Structure 1
Amino acid sequence: MLKLIQLELRKHRFARNFRTAGIANLALILFLIMIGFTDQGAEDYAFADYHVSFMLIDTFARAVFIIFGGALIAKLIISEYRNKTMNVMFTYPIKRQKIIAAKLIIVFVFTFVMILFTDLLMGALLVITNQFYSFIPDTLTMSDALVLLLKYTISSLSAAAMALIPLFFGMRKHSVTTTLVSSILLVLVVCSGFNGPTFSINTLIVIPLTLGAIGLWIASLSMIRLETKDVN
């Protein structure tokens, strides 16, 4: 499986995706800085305390990379079904399930790593910046940081699994557009906020965990369908 994953990474020149993810992170940093300056002085200031600030960072990180994950699914799987190269791959002396599993593992791991990395990077930059400008009045203890790391890890895992959901819609007619649109709609639902930045659907832990389980179920379902409908 590891060898198959390496072949897929080379085939799609996957290193370029890390460069694109770096640009996305830079854009996200600039966007958060803009929010910090334009929203300053408001009653529901986005960076009023660490709890709200970290939730805002995590929300944007998940939004960016769930869509990114949808784009990877469209590139690695849907487009290959559409241009018939997947049928050629299925003639290789490798189990079909392994081929699809390798692609889905790449999407899952990349999405998880990038969301967690972005959360930690943005969080560290926030703490360092606050040391100089003190715009957040409360303090962040070591125990708070450990709890935050656990929350980030769980959030990243559930979001990475969630990013597999667009596969279900994209496989209906092997549509790249449907895959991307469904990932955007998923983000609009999951990352929507109510009552300013203090509450979002993701704060109800059962919802992202359930959606993550659905994403894993869809991935396993795609394995079953390989022997029937999807190869016709």
Structure 2
Amino acid sequence: MIKLINLELERNKIRSYIVASFLILIFGFGFCFLTAYIPQIEQSQQMIQIRGGVSLPTDLSMFSQWNNFISLISIVFVAAFGVLSAIMHAKFTVEEYTGKRAILLFSYPIKRSKILFAKCSFVFFFTAIAVAICNIVAISIFAFFSNTFHILPNMFTGEMWPNLLVTTGVSALLAASIGLIAMRIGFWRKSLVATVVTSFLLIIPFGNMMSFIPENSLQIRLIGMVVLLVLGLAVFMELLSKVNKMEAL
């Protein structure tokens, strides 16, 4: 299996995806500062509206609480890497099983299901590991700046690490599962575009729910991760059973 994965790395240039992951990390880090600035906008609006005798309809101060802050930043990485995972699956898998490339792939003296398993396993774990690294690195560095320059009113302490690690783990599996399901839809539709569009459609409802209900974000994300992971593994196993009998698409 390791040899097959190494073969995939030789056939598909992974450097561009590493660069994309690094750019997502930079964007996520910048988004940390943007999110932290929201409570300051609220304070300015409150001062203006209090003078006019109008009260604010929402409480943006929730963004200054570390648990909610971690949830919001994590969903940004889920969305970004969910799409990147779909793009990688489209390139590594869906595109490889269409047209003349499929004829070449099916001519290999290796069981087709093993090749497919190697491709999907690599993308799945690449996505999960990238989400975990980026989420922890971005929030940890921002926490250092926040504690030093008092960006958020509360200090980031050791007690917050368990929540960060759990949220990161759930987010990593959620993003990887989104890519796996998107890949199966792409196979079914025989379309690279369908693979990427499916990832967007899977991300939108979870993103909305977690943005509007940040205090229950971890529970929503955990339920979503379990559902999508089970569904993703189910459709993946179904595809593995079919690929050995599959003709060129």
Task: Report if TM-score (shorter chain) is over 0.5.
Answer: yes
Q: What SS does the corresponding residue of 2:63 show, helix, strand or coil?
A: coil
Q: What SS does the corresponding residue of 2:188 show, helix, strand or coil?
A: helix
Q: Is the 8 A contact 1:47 1:136 kept in 2?
A: no
Q: Identify which of 209, 234, 238 aligns with 1:221.
A: 238
| TM-score computed with the length of structure 2 as normaliser | 0.84
Superposition CA RMSD, Å: 2.2
Taking the aligned partners of 2:217 and 2:182, their CA distance within structure 1 comes to 19
Alignment of 1:1-232 (within 5 A): 1-37=1-37, 40-42=40-42, 43-45=59-61, 47-193=63-209, 196=212, 198-199=214-215, 203-204=219-220, 205-229=222-246, 231=248
Q: What SS does the corresponding residue of 1:13 show, helix, strand or coil?
A: coil
Residue 130 to residue 9, structure 1, CA distance change in 2 (3 Å) = same
Shift of 1:194: 5.9
Q: Is the 8 A contact 1:191 1:200 kept in 2?
A: no
| TM-score computed with the length of structure 1 as normaliser | 0.90
Taking the aligned partners of 2:210 and 2:82, their CA distance within structure 1 comes to 20
> Which of structures 1 and 2 has the bigger CA Rg?
2
Taking the aligned partners of 1:228 and 1:201, their CA distance within structure 2 comes to 42
Q: Deviations along 1:84-117, whole A, 9 cap, x unmatched?
A: 3122111111110111011101110110011101
Taking the aligned partners of 1:197 and 1:147, their CA distance within structure 2 comes to 17
Residue 184 to residue 5, structure 1, CA distance change in 2 (3 Å) = same
Shift of 1:185: 0.9
Taking the aligned partners of 1:222 and 1:129, their CA distance within structure 2 comes to 47
Q: What SS does the corresponding residue of 2:180 show, helix, strand or coil?
A: coil
Q: Is the 8 A contact 2:96 2:105 kept in 1?
A: no
Q: Deviations along 1:9-53, whole A, 9 cap, x unmatched?
A: 111111221012111222232333334335524231463111011
More helix as a share of residues: 2
Q: How many residues align?
A: 232
Show structure 2 runs of 5+ residues with no match.
43-58
Taking the aligned partners of 1:34 and 1:143, their CA distance within structure 2 comes to 24
Taking the aligned partners of 1:103 and 1:131, their CA distance within structure 2 comes to 42
Shift of 1:153: 1.7
Q: Is the 8 A contact 1:36 1:46 kept in 2?
A: no
Residue 155 to residue 27, structure 1, CA distance change in 2 (3 Å) = closer
Range with bigger deviation, 191-200 or 151-160:
191-200
Q: Deviations along 1:64-84, whole A, 9 cap, x unmatched?
A: 001000000110111122233
Amino acid at match of 1:145: W
Shift of 1:188: 0.7
Q: Is the 8 A contact 1:158 1:211 kept in 2?
A: yes
Amino acid at match of 1:216: L
Range with bigger deviation, 186-195 or 175-184:
186-195
Taking the aligned partners of 2:241 and 2:13, their CA distance within structure 1 comes to 28
Amino acid at match of 1:64: A
- Equivalent pairs: percent with the same residue? 23
Amino acid at match of 2:146: N
Range with bigger deviation, 174-183 or 43-52:
43-52
Q: What SS does the corresponding residue of 1:217 show, helix, strand or coil?
A: helix
Q: Is the 8 A contact 2:36 2:64 kept in 1?
A: no
Taking the aligned partners of 2:224 and 2:38, their CA distance within structure 1 comes to 31
Taking the aligned partners of 2:214 and 2:170, their CA distance within structure 1 comes to 19
